[in-house]
Structure 1
Amino acid sequence: MRMLFLDLDSTSPNHLGCYGYHRNTSPNIDKIACEGVRFTNYYTSDAPCAPSRAALSSGRFGIHTGLVGHGGTAADFRHEGISRMFRDVLTKESLPAFLRSAGMKTVLFSPFGERHSQWTFYSGFSEIHNSGKGGMESAEDVTPGVLSWIEQNAKNDDWFLYLNYWDPHTPYRAPEEFGNPFADDPLPAWLTEEMLERHKKKVGPHSARDINMYDNKTNPNFPRHPGELLDMSGLRNMIDGYDCGIRYMDEHIGMLFEALRRADVMDDLVIFISADHGENQGQLGIYGEHGTADHGTCRIPMIVRWPGVTQAHVDEGLHYHLDLLPTLADMLGKKPCQSWDGQSYAPALTGQRECGRDYLVLSQCAHVCQRSVRFGEWLYMRTYHDGYHMFPKEMLYNLKDDPNEQFDVASSNPDICKEAVYLLNEWHDDMMLSMPYDVDPLWTVMKEGGPFHAKGRLKGYLEHLKSTGREEAIPELVSRHPKEFK
């Protein structure tokens, strides 16, 4: 058996053709989607990059691994302590380690372990290739090495190839000579001038006036990535830059598929196409970022083509990305590991039955501290640290009527909010009772001064707000974060 896992950083399903996007961003990905199962409600349990990949590779929620952020104590896996054996759990029960125990050679092409000092990400891989630019790679930096590996190894049996592409991640970096295939395509219909005017009044990192996180600076090396969105032309530059990154990446994915066809292994190759997180492009008034526990950030693509098993269909059940490990165990006839938190969705692949969860809890502790509950047609968001966005404590969005999260309806739906809080408490009780630790790492982040990407940034940001005529937000930000001024 041969498996290919494409981890496409920051790729939102909203911007893929196979998920209904009106622009032709992903023709090669779309072809695979036509041959397999496309999951429409597939979410990372923990966002963004490091927490997401930690949860995927370990099969455990961030509250269990302790890894929920990008800095401080909660940016590393907890030590197992006295229960640790000669080797730790990840050497046996991580995604690549599990597949290796099933007889597969596990191969990684990714700089991610170095990018976030997530050395545990490498656990279980037989062969590791680091492209060396810490996530600033373009596809042309990645593809040649993978093509070489395919030429030399693809005909061998029993391998699992995990591959990262980074082109949809900020700053948008498709080469100038690639041009703009979308220059004549309209923007998504919901991105209107009226909406942009509302967003220009918002404050917070990666809002319309602060694309560069806490200011509007630009880098001449990345002309596709604007510093602020003042008009529809600027908005077009933002969306086109992101979409060009996806299309450029997709063309390189097409090169890989063609090489696999030449090696005569494409027809029976198991293919997974997913991402670590999505990308807000206007959701919550945020652009080019993945810093919230919302639908825009946490919903990710998942396409599975498993020849001889899957038939082309769409699964609308609620699933976590960490459900992949027990699913693979089912599909390979192996016993699931006790440490895993996931729930197999093998029946969705084989077409036997629906097997989605009743609800999901989504966490984000790197840019904000939030937990959200996804259930029915609702997304309930609870904020503990607002990351200087001035979010209210509770937010509620009806994703059926408002999939782009523009209208918070919490105040008019108190009963729905109460139901969500009950579900959140049930999940939290289950999590705390099912681990040997007595600390929720979200609160570790809070006690250490707040999320890494916000900590210590407020004073400088207030100066930027003054310079851009948004002084009215300053008193509220100071009131919310008095410790920043001590």
Structure 2
Amino acid sequence: MLFLMTDQHRVDTLGCYGNPHVSTPHLDRLAAEGTRFESFYTPTAICTPARASLLTGAAPFRHKLLANYERNVGYLEDLADGQFTFSEQLRADGYNLGLMGKWHGGVERTAADYGFDGPSLPGWHNPVDHPDYLAYLAERDLPPYRITDLVRGTTPNGSPGNLLAARLHQPVEATFEHYLATRTIEQLHRYAQEEQGGEGRPFFLATHFFGPHLPYILPDEYYDMYDPSLVELPASVNETFAAKPPVQSNYSKLWAFDTMPLEESRKLVAVYWGYVTLIDRQIGRILDAMRELGLQDRTAVFFTADHGEFTGAHRLHDKGPAMYEDIYRIPGLLRVPGAPQGQVREEFVSLTDCTATILDLAGADTAPAVDSRSLLPLARGEHPEWADHHLAEFHGHHFPYPQRMLRTRHHKLVVNPESHNELYDLRADPDELHNRYQDPALRTVREDLTRRLYDLLRERGDNFYHWMTPMYDVATDYDTTLSSFEKPQPAQERG
């Protein structure tokens, strides 16, 4: 198995998902050779919890690794002892396991602690001071990392905003992305020799690119690859935040969107496209190596991301407490040898479902991946019954902020306990500009989705439903007080 993953990757940047401008021939070929999932979603739009769900097959509320450690708001910083992981199972089944790239799965435990080979690369963005990367540059006489032309806005207190982009003064061969692909190819050769040799060990090899997560730091070739005039900014750059939770307006100020002209925003999107193309070419190198090693006909290949990126949509950058399609819908490609080619599946599937799929491909029991369902039947062209919704959650970034989302084919409900709930009619308003939660015309839809979300949360054991029980017309069989003090007590027996 080869598992290729990006970070903070918008689905609309790929040719196979309809972008007419961005060059992604290698991922487009992967889509043509396998299955493209049209409705592929993350369980939560933040790195560490999403990656922990991939590792465990458990929803974030269940594995409890709920925040990135760099902005931790008091949650756990590592998975609990005894938590099931697919890597533990594959290692027990004799697999070689490798992970090249971003880990971001905890503080104390590294990828090696979960059985993965490869250099430990911590953090949320390219660790360009890592000894293995520096050794890679030195071995090849490549110049060191250096950037200029930094792009950032201005925050509310007048200080410089977060870095959004910069020019990298290195050749492509020196980029961290090229380094990761090279290390992956080297490991692929080692695993192929073992797989084909006397040991016959199968392998699972993952490459987790740190990009196209901001800041977009690229050499000129990619920084200027796309003309900003090609960029059509989304309608949601006209977001007014009317009837929206105030946190969204606050996040817009944090990311300083309004302090930069729209021409700058177009350039940023064009640079982001360049980042996507750079990564696509590195993925192409890995896939070419797989073919050259003769592994094509017996290697399953995944491609996905942990979550999306705003790139100016809703006057936001990065991600955060706003459950829009921009950051919750992600790319999902799966190529399985012998399975139908060029499929497009519409079912709602999730990053978490990759866990059961990996186990299923390995012939292992998928039951321990409790919130995951194998995608193999879909990839093989079967038509099993499938859920007609996606349930997502969020717990905070910078500060605690609990949310739950129910996304159906035509609507989306977001429950925000401290603020305005949200309801979007995605047919009439695909850019999610108009919160229709209080609209009498959608009252029946609102009540139906609220009840469905409540029942789903109770069914899976997500205690968020405790808030919903007294606040909405949902409960028919539940004690909202959870009180034992009001119940008659049996008389004490006399001695």
| Both proteins in one fold, TM over 0.5 | yes
Match status 1:170 vs 2:214: yes
**2:146 maps to what in 1?**
none
**For the structure 1 residues 233 and 354, does the alpha-carbon distance in structure 2 shift closer, same or farther, using more than 3 Å as the test?**
farther
TM-score, structure 2 normalization = 0.73
1:274 and 1:303 in contact (8 A); partners too: yes
Q: Quickly say closer, same or farther: Cα 1:67–1:344, change in 2 above 3 A.
A: same
CA deviation map 1:175-196 (0-9, x unaligned): 23434221165223x636xx54
Partner of 2:254: 214
CA–CA distance in 1 between the matches of 2:314 and 2:360?
Answer: 38
> Aligned pair 1:324/2:354, yes or no?
yes
Cα distance, 1:156–1:403 mapped onto 2, change above 3 Å: farther
**Distance across 1 between alignment mates of 2:358 and 2:188:** 23
| Aligned residue among 42, 45, 54 for 1:44 | 42
Distance 2:428 2:259 in 1: 26
Distance 1:322 1:264, change over 3 A: same
Q: C-alpha distance in 1, partners of 2:245/2:426?
A: 23
Q: Compared with structure 1, are the counterparts of its residues 74 and 247 closer, same or farther at alpha carbon in structure 2 (3 Å cutoff)?
A: same
For 2:117, the equivalent position in structure 1 comes to 127
2:404 aligned with 1:371: yes
Matched, 1:419 2:462: no
Root-mean-square deviation (CA, aligned residues, Å) is: 3.1
Query: What letter corresponds to residue 185 of structure 2 in structure 1?
Result: L
Paired residues for 1:212-251 under 5 Å:
214=254, 216=256, 228=258, 230-251=260-281
Identify the residue that residue 186 of structure 1 maps to in structure 2: 230
1:293 is aligned to 2:320: no
**What residue in structure 1 maps to residue 93 of structure 2?**
102
Secondary structure of 1:178's counterpart equals helix
Structure 1's 111 and 330: CA in aligned 2 closer, same or farther, altered over 3 A?
closer
What is the correspondence of 1:299-310 to structure 2 with a 5 Å cutoff? 299-310=329-340
CA distance in 2 between counterparts of 1:122 and 1:364 reads 28
Which whole-Å CA distance do the structure 2 matches of 1:268 and 1:276 have between them? 26
Question: TM-score, normalised to structure 1's length?
Answer: 0.75
CA distance in 1, matches of 2:263, 2:466: 39
* Matched residue type, 2:184: V
1:411 deviates by 2.4
Establish whether residue 23 from structure 1 lines up as the match of residue 21 from structure 2: yes
Alignment of 1:67-466 (within 5 A): 67-70=65-68, 71-76=72-77, 79=80, 88-90=81-83, 93-113=84-104, 116-117=106-107, 119=109, 122-131=112-121, 134-137=124-127, 138-157=176-195, 158-183=202-227, 186-188=230-232, 191=234, 196=237, 198=239, 214=254, 216=256, 228=258, 230-338=260-368, 340-367=370-397, 368-385=401-418, 392-412=419-439, 413-432=442-461
Counterpart Cα distance in 2 of 1:269 and 1:185: 40
Provide, for residues 82-117 of structure 1, a one-character-per-residue CA deviation record: whole Å limited to 9, x for no partner: xxxxxx434xx3122222233311111124247x52
> How many Å apart are 1:312 and its aligned residue?
2.0
Q: Which residue of 1 aligns with 2:198?
A: none
Matched residues, percent identical?
A: 22
How big is the shift at 1:122? Answer: 4.8
Amino acid aligned to 1:171:
P
What aligned pairs does 1:7-22 form with structure 2 within 5 A after superposition?
A: 7-22=5-20
Cα 1:118/1:54, change in 2 over 3 Å:
farther
Shift of the alpha carbon at 1:204?
7.2
Larger radius of gyration: 2
Query: Does the 8 A contact of 2:340 with 2:381 survive in 1?
Result: yes
* 1:394–1:426 Cα change, 3 Å: same
1:67 deviates by 1.9
Cα distance in 1, alignment partners of residues 4 and 365 from structure 2: 25
Q: Deviations over 1:29-54 (max 9, x none)?
A: 11100110111111111231011011
Pair 235,172 (structure 1): closer, same or farther in 2 beyond 3 Å: same
The change in CA–CA distance for 1:102 and 1:63 in structure 2 (over 3 A counts) is same
Deviations, residues 291-340 of structure 1 (Å, cap 9, x unaligned): 43332212111100011124320110012221223333444443223452
Offset from partner CA, 1:112-135 (integer Å, 9 cap, x none)? 247x52627555324132246652
The answer to whether the Cα contact below 8 Å between 2:414 and 2:421 also exists between their aligned partners in 1 is yes
SS at match of 1:56: helix
Which amino acid counterpart does residue 8 of structure 1 have in structure 2?
Answer: T
Counterpart amino acid of 1:96? S
Q: Distance in 2 between matches of 1:203 and 1:376?
A: 23
Would the aligned equivalents of 1:294 and 1:372 in 2 still touch at CA under 8 Å?
Answer: no
**Structure 2: distance between partners of 1:282 and 1:165:** 22
Structure 1 runs (4+) greater than 6 angstroms displaced: 200-207
Q: Deviations over 1:223-249 (max 9, x none)?
A: xxxx65643312212211221111111
- One-letter code of the match for 2:86? L
- Structure 1, unaligned runs of 5 or more: 80-87, 217-226, 386-391, 434-438, 444-486
Instruction: Provide structure 2 residue ranges, at least 5 long, that are not aligned to the other structure.
Output: 128-175, 196-201, 468-495
CA distance in 1, matches of 2:231, 2:466: 37
Aligned length: 404
What is the deviation of 1:346?
Answer: 2.4
Cα drift, residue 205 of structure 1: 7.8
Q: 1:472 maps to which residue?
A: none
Paired residue secondary structure (1:6): strand
